[in-house]
Amino acid sequence: MTQGIDHLGLTVSDLSASLAFFTDALGWEKFGENPDYPAAYITDGYGKITLWQRTGDRPQDFDRHNNLGLHHAALKVANAAELAELYARVENWPGVTVEFSPELSGKGPKEHFIIREPGGTRLEISYDPR
């Protein structure tokens, strides 16, 4: 009965750093914001993400083994060359932590890498030739 994902909402530790990463490193566009929340709304022309600034005074880093909910957000690219190009662009981006560089997912043929963007969200970037 559903028709895909309308948007994904991510709470980030540094809204401006996450917004810059998504727009400058990944090429997304900001299409709106809510300074009172604060939040920024971004798109790559296919999907939409809302970036929400964490406002609590007791932040906790994301732990994929213990937290319920989001394990990671996964984005896709069109081919293996774009996967390699994007990895080269983001691997040394300020505030990015690389979990692993491009490799086969399981036995393949899908290839992927995982990073944490500057606001703390775990991101998988993948290419699947199937």
Q: Identify whether 93 is part of a domain.
A: yes
The reported pLDDT for the residue numbered 63 is 75
114: CATH? 3.10.180.10
pTM, full prediction: 0.89
Domain span holding position 114: 8-57+71-127
Separation in Å, CA 20 to CA 7, 27, 81, 88: 19, 10, 23, 17
pLDDT over 70 percentage in the chain: 98
Q: Identify whether 117 is part of a domain.
A: yes
The reported pLDDT for the residue numbered 19 is 98
Q: Identify whether 2 is part of a domain.
A: no
Query: What is the number of structural domains in the chain?
Result: 1
Per-residue pLDDT tens over the stretch 53-97: 988 777 677 777 777 678 899 999 999 999 999 999 999 999 999
118: pLDDT confidence band, cut at 50, 70 and 90? very high
Average pLDDT over residues 98-123: 96
Q: Identify whether 86 is part of a domain.
A: yes
Question: Is 117:96 a contact under the CB 8 Å cutoff?
Answer: yes
The reported pLDDT for the residue numbered 68 is 64
Q: Identify whether 94 is part of a domain.
A: yes
